[in-house]
Each structure stands twice: as structure tokens, then as C-alpha cells.
């Protein structure tokens, strides 16, 4: 018999205008069960726990039910989550809301469509001004992104010391907010200000639309700093796997640095080795890699494991956002919404060839290190660089710290939030 | 000590570990020691002076002065002399040799250094020691807060006094306590994007209004900047630090920025020295145009300073008071959402960019009330949060005929205004409360360009006593009124993203 997971009477599509609530109406519970018969209808899963962490319980159960294809349970849990979730509530409610969307898509196999909708909505509401405001505000209240910037800039400056023609290849999604401080350092530190060529590689369509404005600002700012500057954008790539040496415009006499911030996770898992090899073919002096510390690579094989990891990571992220921003912050809301796209992408979209949009399968620092060690060798961060990181973290609220890795398991620095590693930064050379 | 002469008269050698002394310049008869030590201009050593070249080891040695009798070392010459007295030397040997009376200049032992050349010798031993350390030495001292490194301990100490206390102000008016966020903001700020359009406009203004206090676009508020202590210009400033400091928040290609700096110093009663240092800093930046302005300012500096005595000191007091209030309320905030004029619950949905502009427009008109009175009134206005009808109630005259603002801002202003009153539009556009981004910058340019008209618009001319107080109240109210209306409008729209007032 066919697998009837879920046939709602009325399932309106996720409405992303003013509220992300689902309007689901469940059928009566007489559904033909597939192989697994779930006997346990645990009644306690509906009650909010004493410690308030009901969302993770419910969500985990739901994920398990989905992987077991227990449709009764799935119904029940989705319904309950829907009742309790809200993108405007506390952390639990928010997590419930966004994960509910992803789980729903997974259960109904509508992940692709949902992702496309979410992406097009985001594109329409984004502009240069809003994107700029969002990221600058985020960087002001949290070192989540600036940590990677400071570590990478330090490594780049040190490895390119003394060179007169610099070429930095920037594969990141932080809209060039990393570069003003580097430009300032180039202008003030060295006696001879070198020539800097910056090539930015963008894949996300949201980022592409604002690159024009960004390039103007960067050029103006470099002029202001007195740094000879050239700015290029490589867009139009469907995925980073298509990137080639020629497309980057690399020249012989340049000293090259490759800066990958949140970039490697955007590559489809199978293509990652190839891209790393391509990067090494550019013969860079240094490759800086910054990634969020989470392992979403097991989605195909073990959904529940991947889900638990997702839950863990985004719980940390949402809590961090809640403690960093003011309660009524618009920016936090927008950042949370961006997470919802990642969640749907990771949990509910099967990796198909030619899939639109970026992959979001993060891996841990140790995993990336394994990949990178095939072609590169790690470069430790200098004491100065680590001091810069320390000074940076001091400027933010408490809770942030860093950990230097020892041994060759994974080299680099970890940013920790309440003693949990959240971001990993590393430097490599051929 | 070896003394030798040389036809060129300029040879300096450091062959021996001990100091070697050569004569330079002309060989005219050694003059009688001048009664007072003249301080020569930097970079132009006294041609009669002795050039002393010390090896790095000797230069950095702490006990440079050695007693010839017992070989005891001393840090200072005076200490050595004091010690020598204890040896009970016969009178002849007590005297210092005549050559020692001559002025000494020192060259840097580093061959590639510009100060290695005797013509660029430095006149002070401590000075050359510090120079050598700074330029060619290892930086052993490091600031914990910002990781800046120093080779000379006194430089480091001086830095530690101000690090973290210094605030940076962008041209757009936003205040920063962190340098890195300031730099990043500056790179993306609209003020940066607008400057090239403004530059040739402001050029004209600059030459005609030497003592201009209120500045042309971009109109950052110079007065608050000068309220905080002027940042010390450390000797080892790089290209950027003078550029990014409070007083000189401008760029080589932003002559109007240099104007602001001049305005800042003109408004307060800082000394001409500060003005001069400001101008010389700006002229030190990388641009040929800045040199032109530096000379304009140098000549008009006295004019600026004298004119400042006319401007009501209450104005600067008010700004200082506002500035300090803000600082107390939210030390870490950038947009300073807890401004006097807004109620807090509207700040989240309402685009904070408006607040920035309100802040610096508030400084434009010059009130005739005392600082405390104004603050009290402002507090009252903020509490009531009245709407546009208040303005009419005040009977605020809107000389729309005499004031032609560009009407692109009116469109958006009416969007905010539920009644769509003409008066409010004019006030709004007069205040430059137009659409964000480029137009917000458009507003002030004409605002400040027609300065007398602007003041009359709000009834805030310096001469009008009673009218000005009402005008200033209305000014505060209109901000509150407009913003409340706008907040309501913003709340209705989608997530505040597409609201007319901002991002």
C-alpha cells in the first residue's frame, strides 16, 4: 500500500508575510499505519516542561516519528508544535516555529518548493540598506562574524607581509565587512602601502544584487585610506564547484590569499574535495577558512542524528541572538528568518544535482581539517593575532571566549559561546 | 675622544664604541655660549652645532655618562657632574672643555633612516633615543584593549590613558566607542557615498565663509565632538589616526570635512594652537586639496575664534549636556536610541536612522534659551508625544514662500503625516526629515546653505527672544509628532522593512 504520510484537509502553505503560522487541520486519526506501529502515545510530550525546554523534546520526538514514518505521531506532534510555536515568542517558541516548518516540509516532501518561496521572499525584501544595516548591527552586538574576520585578517596580513601586489580572493557572505579594517591596517601599518586587488565570489542571489553598491563603497573607502585598490566581482556561478582559476583573474606576480568565510559549506558535499584542490592550484600564500561548528553532513544517512545536531546548533544560535540584541530588534528577527531557510535546506531538501541555491551542510572544524590537510598544511595563528582576537572579544558582552586547538586533530581557533564552540577559524598554506 | 676635521665638514663616523665628535658646517670661530638655549626648529638643526653619532649600543645605554676617574656610569650628565665634584678635582680639570658648551645634535645610527644625515639631525638626546626605538626598534609594549604596539614605554603609557575612552564620530553623526566598528561603519556609510557630490559645492562655500560655524553637508555635529577632550596627537600617528579622530573625521577628498573641523574649533574656545594642530593634521593627509584648505583655515582661524565668542555658550553647553545625557543612558549604543525626543517603544519598529538625523539637526538651530530650560522643555515635549496639531496650536509660522526646499522630501513627509498638512511637510523638509539615504543628505545641504532662512523658518533667529523659545519647543515637538505618526505607519507595514521612513 502506498505510504500515506499525511493528508491534511487543509494545509495552507507557510505564510511568510506577517506570521509564520501554519493553519493545519488534521484528519481524524484513523490512518493506515505502515510497518512500525507506534504504541506509545506519550501524553507528557504535550505539557510544557518545568524547565521550559519543551520545544527540543517535541521537536526531537517529531523528528524521530518522521524517520520512523509514524504518521499518527507525526500528526499529533506537528499539531502540538503548531499550537505552541511562534516566531515572535521566546526562544523555545521560535525554535519550535522554524523547525516545525522544516519538519513539515520534510514530512510532506515539499522542501524544494518551500525553500524557493522563502528565498524569493527574502530577495524581495532585501536591499543594500537593509542588508548593510542588518550585518553591521549584528557585528556590533555579537562577535559571531567579526571573530572570523579578525583572525583571518591577521593571518592574511602576516603572510602577505612585504608583498607589493596583493590579491585577495574573498568567498564569503559577509558583504565585504571584513575588508575596511584590513584596508586600514594596510594603510597604517606598512611603510609602503601595497596595491590590493580584491576579487569577491558570490553565489547567493541575495548577495549578488547588493554587490554593485558594495563595490562602490569599497572603492571609495580604499581611496580614502590611500590604498591602491581594484575590486572585482565573480557572480553568475550556480555553485562554487564551477569556480575556475581563469574566472578569478589570477596573475603571476600577485601574492594571493584566499579567504573562505562560511564558503566551504555552500559547496555540495561531493564537490568539496575538488574545490579545495582547485584552490591549491592558485598557489596562494595563505587560505583562511572560517566555518560554523556543526555537523549537518549526515542528513541523507541518519535524519535523526542530523536533526539533533541542527537543533543543538540553532538553539545555541537563537539563544545567542536573544542575549545579544535588544528584545524588540528587527535585525534579530531577520537573522532568525534567514536561519529558517538553512533549516529547510538541510532537513527537507534532498541533495539533487542542479539544485538551486547554496548547500548549507556544515561540517565541524575537525572534518574540514581532514579535507584541507589533503592539500594544505595548517598555519598557526601568531600571538599578535590571538591577542587581537582576545581584544575583540573583550569588547562584547560576557559569555564569549576562544580556544586554541592543540594537536593536529584540527588546527585553528574556536570561538566559544558559554563554553560551547560555535565558530572555527583556521589558516592554511600549500 | 677623537676630533678630526674634514674638508667637506660633514663626515660623521661611529668607529669606536665611544662617542665621536666632529665639527660640521663652517669653521667660524666658536662663539661665546649664548646666554639662553635657543630651541631650533624641528628638522633644521643649528648649523654651528656639533653632530654626534652614537652607535645603537651607546644610544640605548642607560649609563651614557661615565666618570673618567672611577668609570662609574650615570644616566644624566648633571648626575655625573655632581659625582665628579666628590672626587675633589683640581680646578683646572673641573672645568668642562669649551667644546662641550656647544650645542649638540644627534643623528640616528640607522643608515637607511632620514635622520642619519647630519642635516636632519635631532637636537635632543632623548628625542633621538625615542626616535630610534620607535622607528627601528622592537615594539615591546602592547596595549591590551586594542593590541596596538609601542617601542617606547612613555608612548605606551600615554596611549593607555586614552585607549577605550576615545570616541569616534562618523560624518553621519553616529558615535562609536569601538574603533573597528567605526571603521567598518565608515566604509559603508552614506556619508561616504555622498561626499563626492558635495565636494565642489562646499568648495565654494568654504572660500566665502571662513568662520562658518554650522557646516555644509555632510553636517556632522562638530560641537559635541569638541566637548570631549581633544585626542592627543601622538607623535607616531599613521595615516589614519588623525583622519579618524574626532576632530578630524574627514578624508583627503572631503574638503567639507575639513570645514567641519575648522568649525568645531571655531565654535568652542579652544586655543589657536588646537586649531593650528587641526589644520596641520588635515594638511598632512594624503591629498593636495587639503593643503589649500589648510591655508584658508590658517588665515581664518583667528577670525573663527573671535567670532565664536558671539555664539551663545549655552548652545555648546546644551550640546554637551545632550551628549553627556546620551552617553550616560546607553554607553555602548551606536544609534543612541534613547534620545531625548523619542519614546523608547517606538524605537524598535521605527528606523533608527531617523534618530541620527534628528540628533544633528537638533544642533543646527541656535537657541536663545539657557541649557537647563531647553532640556526641561525637551523632556516635557518628549513625554507628551504630541502630534501634528500641536504645531498648529503653537501658531508656528510657516514661511513656505521664502523657503524653497526640494520637494522630493515632501512626498515622504506626507506619508508620515496622517493629516498630510502642508505645514508639517514644510517643517519636516525643513528639518530634513525626508526619505533616507541620499535624500536625507540632500535635505541638510539646502538647509544649511540658506542658513538665515532656515533660522527664520523655525523662528529661531538670534535676535528674536520670545519667538525663539516657542520655535524651539515646536522643533522638539514636531520631531516627536512626526515620529509618532511615522511609527504608527511603520508598524502597519511588513516587518518594518518596507516602511517609508527607513530600511
Distance between CA atoms of A286 and A155, rounded to whole angstroms?
8
Chain A residues with beta carbon closer than 8 angstroms to that of B282: none
pLDDT at residue A427 above 90? Answer: yes
How confident is the model at residue A408, as a pLDDT?
A: 61
Q: What is the mean pLDDT of residues A79-93?
A: 91
Contact A56, A68 (CB under 8 A): no
Give me the residues paired with residue A165 across strands: A195
Chain A residues with beta carbon closer than 8 angstroms to that of B253: 223-224
How confident is the model at residue A12, as a pLDDT?
A: 42
CA R_g for chain B: 30
Each residue's pLDDT tens digit in chain B (503 positions)? 444 444 444 444 444 444 444 444 444 444 454 455 555 556 566 777 777 777 777 777 767 677 888 878 887 888 888 888 888 877 766 655 544 556 777 888 878 787 788 787 787 777 888 888 887 778 888 887 777 788 888 888 888 888 777 788 888 888 888 888 899 998 988 876 665 555 444 433 333 333 334 333 343 344 443 334 444 444 443 444 443 443 433 434 444 433 343 433 433 343 433 333 434 443 334 444 444 443 444 444 444 334 434 444 444 444 444 444 444 434 444 433 333 333 334 434 444 444 444 444 444 444 455 555 555 555 555 544 444 444 444 444 444 444 444 444 444 444 444 444 444 444 434 443 434 444 434 444 444 344 444 444 444 444 444 444 444 444 334 434 444 443 344 444 444 444 433 33
**Element (DSSP H or E) covering residue A155:** helix A146-159
Task: Determine the residue among A330, A331, A384, A391 to mutate to test chain B binding: the one whose Cβ has the most chain B Cβ atoms within 10 Å.
Answer: A330
Q: Is B96 exposed, middle or buried (0-12, 13-18, 19+ CB in 10 A)?
A: exposed
For CA atoms A188, A190, A194, A197, the dihedral sign is: negative
pLDDT band with cut points at 50, 70 and 90 for residue A333: very high
The grid coordinates listed for B419 are 493629516
Chain A residues with beta carbon closer than 8 angstroms to that of B252: 224, 226
Please answer yes or no on whether A330 and B348 come within 8 Å at the CB atom. Answer: yes
Mean pLDDT of chain A: 83
Backbone angles phi, psi at A357, to 5 degrees: 85, 170
In order, the DSSP letters of B47-108 are: TTSEEEE--HHHHH-S--EE-TTT--EESSHHHHHHHHHTT---HHHHSPPGGGGS-EEEE-
Quick one: residue A237, left, alpha or beta (phi over 0 = left, psi -120 to 50 = alpha)?
beta
Chain B residues with beta carbon closer than 8 angstroms to that of A395: 178, 180
B38-90 pLDDT per residue, tens: 555 565 667 777 777 777 777 777 676 778 888 788 878 888 888 888 888 77
Q: Smallest Cβ distance to B240: which of A17, A133, A225? A: A225
How confident is the model at residue B377, as a pLDDT?
A: 56
Contact A390, A297 (CB under 8 A): no
Chain B residues with beta carbon closer than 8 angstroms to that of A218: 187
Chain A residues with beta carbon closer than 8 angstroms to that of B149: 384
CA R_g for chain A: 23
In the block, residue with C-alpha cell 612585504: A162
Task: Determine the residue among B184, B195, B439 to mutate to test chain A binding: the one whose Cβ has the most chain A Cβ atoms within 10 Å.
Answer: B184
Q: In terms of Cα–Cα distance, which of A381, A376, A378 is closest to A430?
A: A376
Contact B245, B231 (CB under 8 A): yes
A110-154 pLDDT per residue, tens: 888 898 899 888 888 888 888 889 999 999 999 999 999 999 999
Integer CA distances (angstroms), A27 to A30, A75, A140, B493, in order: 8, 9, 48, 35
B492 Cβ under 8 Å from any chain A Cβ: no
How confident is the model at residue B271, as a pLDDT?
A: 41
Please answer yes or no on whether B239 and A226 come within 8 Å at the CB atom. Answer: yes
Secondary structure of B198-210 in HEC code, one letter for each residue: HHHHHHHHHHHCC
Exposure string over B138-151, b if 16+ CB within 10 A, otherwise e? eeebbbeebbbbbb
Distance between CA atoms of B291 and B279, rounded to whole angstroms?
9
Q: Smallest Cβ distance to B178: which of A189, A224, A395? A: A395
- Min distance B329 CA to chain A CA atoms (Å): 15
Contact A366, A265 (CB under 8 A): no
Backbone angles phi, psi at B74, to 5 degrees: -135, 150
ipTM above 0.90, yes or no: no
B142 Cβ under 8 Å from any chain A Cβ: yes
Q: In terms of Cα–Cα distance, which of A176, A152, A406, A145 is closest to A289?
A: A152
In order, the DSSP letters of A71-85 are: HHHHHHHHHHHHHH-
Chain B residues with beta carbon closer than 8 angstroms to that of A87: none
Contact B95, B101 (CB under 8 A): no
The grid coordinates listed for A327 are 528584545
- Min distance A1 CA to chain B CA atoms (Å): 45
How confident is the model at residue B117, as a pLDDT?
A: 80
- Min distance A330 CA to chain B CA atoms (Å): 7
Strands of A325-430 (E only): list them: 377-379, 400-404, 413-417, 420-429
Q: Which of A222-231, A311-320, B323-332 has the lowest mean pLDDT?
A: B323-332
Chain B residues with beta carbon closer than 8 angstroms to that of A330: 348-349, 495-497
Distance between CA atoms of A390 and B500, rounded to whole angstroms?
41
In order, the DSSP letters of B394-462 are: HT----TTT----THHHHHHHHH-SS--HHHHHHHHHTT---STHHHHHHHHHHHHTHHHHHHHTT--S
- Min distance A154 CA to chain B CA atoms (Å): 12
Distance between CA atoms of B107 and B6, rounded to whole angstroms?
18
Integer CA distances (angstroms), B141 to B133, B151, B152, B154, in order: 11, 6, 7, 10
Taking CA–CA distances from A127, the nearest residue in chain B reads B503
Helix, strand or coil, per DSSP, at residue A93: helix
B113 Cβ under 8 Å from any chain A Cβ: no
Chain A residues with beta carbon closer than 8 angstroms to that of B196: 220
Listed in sequence order, the residues at least 6 apart from B333 whose beta carbon sits closer than 8 Å to its beta carbon are none
A343-392 pLDDT per residue, tens: 998 888 876 555 566 778 899 988 899 899 899 999 889 888 999 999 99
Please answer yes or no on whether B348 and A130 come within 8 Å at the CB atom. Answer: no
- Between B365 and A277, the more confident residue is A277
Listed in sequence order, the residues at least 6 apart from B128 whose beta carbon sits closer than 8 Å to its beta carbon are B59, B106, B107, B108, B115, B121, B122
**Element (DSSP H or E) covering residue A171:** strand A165-172
Chain B residues with beta carbon closer than 8 angstroms to that of A150: 180
Please answer yes or no on whether A188 and B238 come within 8 Å at the CB atom. Answer: yes
Please answer yes or no on whether B188 and A132 come within 8 Å at the CB atom. Answer: yes
Task: Determine the residue among B143, B188, B330 to mutate to test chain A binding: the one whose Cβ has the most chain A Cβ atoms within 10 Å.
Answer: B188
In the block, residue with C-alpha cell 504630541: B386
Name the percent of chain B in helix, strand, coil, to the closest 5: 50, 5, 45
B114 Cβ under 8 Å from any chain A Cβ: no
Please answer yes or no on whether A188 and B240 come within 8 Å at the CB atom. Answer: yes
B252 Cβ under 8 Å from any chain A Cβ: yes
Chain A residues with beta carbon closer than 8 angstroms to that of B494: 17-18, 125
Distance between CA atoms of A243 and A234, rounded to whole angstroms?
9
Backbone angles phi, psi at B336, to 5 degrees: 50, 55
Taking CA–CA distances from B185, the nearest residue in chain A reads A136
Q: In terms of Cα–Cα distance, which of A366, A363, A262, A359 is closest to A309?
A: A363
Amino acid at each position: 500500500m502506498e505510504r500515506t504520510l499525511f493528508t491534511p484537509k487543509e494545509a495552507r502553505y507557510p505564510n511568510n508575510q506577517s506570521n509564520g503560522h501554519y493553519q493545519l487541520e488534521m484528519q481524524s486519526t484513523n490512518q493506515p499505519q505502515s510497518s512500525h506501529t507506534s504504541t506509545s502515545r506519550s501524553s507528557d510530550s504535550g505539557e510544557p516542561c518545568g524547565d521550559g525546554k519543551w520545544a527540543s523534546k517535541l521537536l526531537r520526538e517529531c523528528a524521530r516519528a518522521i524517520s520512523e514514518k509514524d504518521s499518527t505521531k507525526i500528526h499529533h506532534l506537528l499539531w502540538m508544535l503548531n499550537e505552541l510555536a511562534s516566531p515572535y515568542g521566546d526562544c523555545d517558541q521560535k525554535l519550535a516555529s522554524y523547525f516545525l516548518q522544516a519538519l513539515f516540509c520534510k514530512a510532506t516532501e515539499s522542501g524544494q518548493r518551500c525553500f524557493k518561496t522563502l528565498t524569493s521572499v527574502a530577495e524581495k525584501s532585501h536591499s543594500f540598506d537593509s542588508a548593510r544595516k542588518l550585518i553591521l548591527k549584528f557585528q556590533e552586538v555579537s562577535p559571531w562574524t567579526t571573530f572570523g574576520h579578525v583572525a583571518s585578517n591577521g593571518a592574511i596580513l602576516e603572510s602577505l607581509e612585504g608583498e607589493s601586489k596583493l590579491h585577495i580572493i574573498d568567498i564569503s557572505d559577509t558583504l565585504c565587512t571584513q575588508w575596511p579594517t584590513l584596508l586600514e591596517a594596510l594603510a597604517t601599518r606598512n611603510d609602503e602601502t601595497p596595491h590590493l586587488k580584491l576579487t569577491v565570489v558570490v553565489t547567493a542571489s541575495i548577495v549578488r544584487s547588493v554587490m554593485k553598491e558594495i563595490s562602490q563603497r569599497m572603492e571609495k573607502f580604499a581611496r580614502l585610506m590611500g590604498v591602491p585598490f581594484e575590486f572585482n566581482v565573480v557572480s553568475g556561478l550556480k555553485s562554487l564547484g564551477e569556480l575556475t582559476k581563469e574566472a578569478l583573474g589570477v596573475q603571476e606576480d600577485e601574492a594571493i590569499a584566499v579567504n573562505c568565510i562560511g564558503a566551504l559549506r555552500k559547496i555540495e558535499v561531493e564537490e568539496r574535495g575538488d574545490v579545495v584542490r582547485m584552490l591549491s592550484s592558485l598557489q596562494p600564500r595563505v587560505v583562511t577558512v572560517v566555518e560554523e561548528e556543526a555537523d549537518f553532513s549526515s542528513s541523507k544517512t541518519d535524519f535523526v542524528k542530523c536533526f539533533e545536531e541542527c537543533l543543538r546548533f540553532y538553539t545555541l544560535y537563537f539563544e545567542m541572538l536573544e542575549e545579544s540584541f535588544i528584545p524588540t530588534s528587527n535585525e534579530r528577527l531577520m537573522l532568525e528568518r534567514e536561519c529558517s531557510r538553512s533549516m529547510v535546506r538541510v532537513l527537507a531538501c534532498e541533495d539533487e544535482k542542479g539544485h538551486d541555491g547554496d548547500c548549507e551542510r556544515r561540517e565541524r572544524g575537525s572534518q574540514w581539517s581532514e579535507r584541507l590537510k589533503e592539500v594544505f598544511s595548517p598555519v598557526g595563528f601568531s600571538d599578535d593575532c590571538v591577542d587581537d582576537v582576545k581584544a575583540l572579544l573583550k569588547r562584547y558582552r560576557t559569555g564569549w571566549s576562544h580556544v586554541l586547538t592543540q594537536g593536529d586533530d584540527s588546527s585553528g581557533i574556536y570561538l566559544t559561546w558559554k563554553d560551547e564552540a560555535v565558530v572555527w577559524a583556521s589558516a592554511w598554506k600549500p | 675622544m677623537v676630533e678630526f676635521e674634514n674638508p667637506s665638514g660633514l663626515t660623521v663616523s661611529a668607529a669606536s664604541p665611544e662617542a665621536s665628535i666632529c665639527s660640521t658646517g663652517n669653521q667660524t670661530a666658536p662663539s661665546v655660549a649664548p646666554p639662553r638655549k635657543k630651541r631650533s626648529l624641528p628638522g633644521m638643526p643649528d648649523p654651528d652645532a656639533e653632530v654626534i653619532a652614537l652607535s645603537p649600543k651607546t644610544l640605548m645605554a642607560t649609563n651614557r655618562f661615565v666618570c673618567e676617574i672611577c668609570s662609574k656610569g650615570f644616566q644624566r650628565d648633571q648626575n655625573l657632574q655632581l659625582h665628579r665634584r666628590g672626587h675633589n678635582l683640581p680646578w683646572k680639570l673641573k672645568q668642562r672643555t669649551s667644546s662641550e658648551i656647544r650645542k649638540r645634535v644627534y643623528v640616528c645610527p640607522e643608515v637607511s633612516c632620514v635622520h642619519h644625515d647630519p642635516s636632519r639631525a635631532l637636537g635632543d638626546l632623548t628625542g633621538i633615543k625615542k626616535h630610534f626605538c620607535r622607528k627601528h626598534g622592537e615594539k615591546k609594549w602592547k596595549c591590551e584593549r586594542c593590541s596596538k604596539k609601542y617601542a617606547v614605554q612613555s608612548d605606551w603609557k600615554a596611549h593607555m590613558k586614552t585607549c577605550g575612552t576615545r570616541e569616534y564620530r562618523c560624518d553621519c553623526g553616529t558615535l562609536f566607542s569601538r574603533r573597528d566598528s567605526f571603521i567598518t561603519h565608515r566604509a559603508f556609510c552614506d556619508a561616504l557615498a555622498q561626499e563626492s557630490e558635495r565636494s565642489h559645492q562646499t568648495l565654494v562655500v568654504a572660500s566665502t565663509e571662513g568662520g562658518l560655524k554650522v557646516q555644509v553637508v555632510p553636517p556632522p555635529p562638530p560641537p559635541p565632538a569638541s566637548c570631549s577632550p581633544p585626542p592627543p596627537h601622538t607623535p607616531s600617528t599613521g595615516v589614519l589616526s588623525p583622519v579618524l579622530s574626532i576632530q578630524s573625521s574627514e578624508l583627503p577628498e572631503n574638503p567639507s570635512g575639513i570645514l567641519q573641523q575648522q568649525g568645531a574649533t571655531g565654535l568652542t574656545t579652544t586655543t589657536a594652537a588646537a586649531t593650528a594642530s587641526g589644520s596641520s593634521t588635515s594638511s598632512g593627509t594624503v591629498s593636495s586639496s587639503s593643503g589649500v584648505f589648510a591655508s584658508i583655515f590658517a588665515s581664518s582661524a583667528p577670525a573663527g575664534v573671535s567670532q565664536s565668542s558671539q555664539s551663545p555658550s549655552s548652545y555648546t553647553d546644551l550640546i554637551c549636556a545632550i551628549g553627556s545625557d546620551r552617553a550616560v543612558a546607553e554607553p555602548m549604543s551606536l544609534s543612541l536610541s534613547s534620545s531625548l525626543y523619542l519614546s523608547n517603544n517606538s524605537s524598535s519598529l521605527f528606523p533608527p536612522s531617523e534618530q541620527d538625523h534628528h540628533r544633528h539637526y537638533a544642533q543646527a538651530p541656535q537657541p536663545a534659551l539657557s541649557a537647563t530650560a531647553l532640556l526641561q522643555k525637551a523632556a516635557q515635549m518628549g513625554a507628551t508625544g504630541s502630534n501634528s496639531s500641536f504645531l498648529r496650536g503653537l501658531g508656528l509660522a510657516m514661511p513656505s514662500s521664502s523657503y524653497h526646499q526640494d520637494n522630493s522630501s515632501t512626498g515622504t513627509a506626507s506619508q508620515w503625516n496622517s493629516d498630510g498638512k502642508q505645514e508639517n511637510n514644510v517643517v519636516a523638509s525643513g528639518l530634513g526629515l525626508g526619505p533616507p539615504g541620499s535624500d536625507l543628505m540632500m535635505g541638510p545641504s539646502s538647509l544649511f546653505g540658506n542658513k538665515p532662512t532656515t533660522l527664520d523658518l523655525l523662528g529661531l533667529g538670534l535676535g528674536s527672544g520670545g519667538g525663539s523659545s516657542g520655535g524651539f519647543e515646536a522643533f522638539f515637538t514636531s520631531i516627536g509628532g512626526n515620529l509618532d505618526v511615522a511609527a504608527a505607519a511603520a508598524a502597519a507595514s511588513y516587518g518594518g522593512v518596507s516602511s517609508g521612513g527607513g530600511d
